[in-house]
Amino acid sequence: MRIHVADHPLIAHKLTTLRDQQTDSPTFRRLADELVTLLAYEATRDVRVSPVEIVTPVAPTTGVRLAAPKPLVVPILRAGLGMLDGMVRLLPTAEVGFLGMVRDEGTLTPSTYATRMPDDLSGRQCYVLDPMLATGGTLIAAVNLLASRGAEDVTAICLLAAPEGIAAMEKALGDSSVPVTVVTAAIDERLNEHGYIVPGLGDAGDRLYGVA
Ligand code: URA
């Protein structure tokens, strides 16, 4: 598994405001959206393209266009939905699938309550959106599902990651049939006893959607 921490002063600046408990929900949403677009730029570094001939006003030339089949973007509901606009801004022709997963706050185990995506993902590059890589349970389940449907590779885009979640993913997906990459704005210190990332930013879904 590859981990890419997007090390950039603008990302660090926006992330700091996102973390701040004083930041209100509209600002949080806007910053999350901007951060995702910056992370998407890094995450799509290996998106497949194919050559295309075009003619500029001056001369014919060869360029590239995104190759078929289209990439699939999969936000994990609920909080991943707040990352969708920022992602499709860079990949407007991507197809979007949905994965509804919730974690039991006692056991921290995820369960899937909704799946809307093509059955056959052969040859598809998949981009999973989940703001917080905490225990890793949700992303491990998501990657396994995409791999079982034939995804070619999976890139998870997370605003923040915990070392425990990265270790869990490495352990569970080390032998995965698909290459997995995690792109994140930062790797934080640890998880607390409630499974929250420390220092983190709190509950990403609650902060995105204004739930107290
Ligand atoms: N989910 C969140 O929203 N925040 C955390 O810190 C961990 C999981």
> How does pLDDT run across 118-169, given as a tens digit for each residue?
999 999 999 999 999 999 999 999 999 999 999 999 999 999 999 999 999 9
In angstroms, the CA 33 to CA 13 distance is 14
**How much distance in Å is there from the Cα of 162 to the middle of ligand 1?**
10
Does the residue 140 lie in any domain? yes
State the DSSP string of 109-154. -EEEEEEES-S--TT-EEEEE-SEESSSHHHHHHHHHHHHTT-SEE
- Is residue 12 within a helix (H) or strand (E), and if so which, with residue range? helix 9-19
**How much distance in Å is there from the Cα of 6 to the middle of ligand 1?**
20
Does the residue 76 lie in any domain? yes
Q: What ipTM was predicted for this assembly?
A: 0.96
Does the residue 102 lie in any domain? yes
117 belongs to an annotated ligand binding site = no
Task: Note the pLDDT of residue 212.
Answer: 64
Does the residue 204 lie in any domain? no
CATH number of the CATH domain containing 148: 3.40.50.2020
Does the residue 56 lie in any domain? no
Nearest CA to ligand 1 atom 3: 203
In angstroms, the CA 206 to CA 103 distance is 14
Nearest CA to ligand 1 atom 2: 203
Does the residue 208 lie in any domain? no
Nearest CA to ligand 1 atom 5: 196
157 belongs to an annotated ligand binding site = no
**How much distance in Å is there from the Cα of 160 to the middle of ligand 1?**
9
Sign of dihedral through CA atoms 162, 187, 78, 121? Answer: negative
86 belongs to an annotated ligand binding site = no
Does the residue 16 lie in any domain? yes
Atom nearest to 198 CA in ligand 1: 6
Does residue 24 contact residue 207 with C-beta atoms inside 8 Å? no
135 belongs to an annotated ligand binding site = yes
Task: Note the pLDDT of residue 211.
Answer: 79
Does the residue 73 lie in any domain? yes
Residue 167 domain boundaries: 2-46+68-196
In angstroms, the CA 27 to CA 14 distance is 10
**How much distance in Å is there from the Cα of 56 to the middle of ligand 1?**
48
Residues in the chain, pLDDT under 70? 212
Q: Name all residues whose Cβ lies below 6 A of ligand 1.
A: 79, 132, 134, 195-197, 200, 203-205
| Total tally of structural domains belonging to the chain | 1
Atom nearest to 201 CA in ligand 1: 6
130 belongs to an annotated ligand binding site = yes
Task: Note the pLDDT of residue 117.
Answer: 95
Task: Note the pLDDT of residue 107.
Answer: 83
In angstroms, the CA 164 to CA 209 distance is 26
**How much distance in Å is there from the Cα of 113 to the middle of ligand 1?**
19
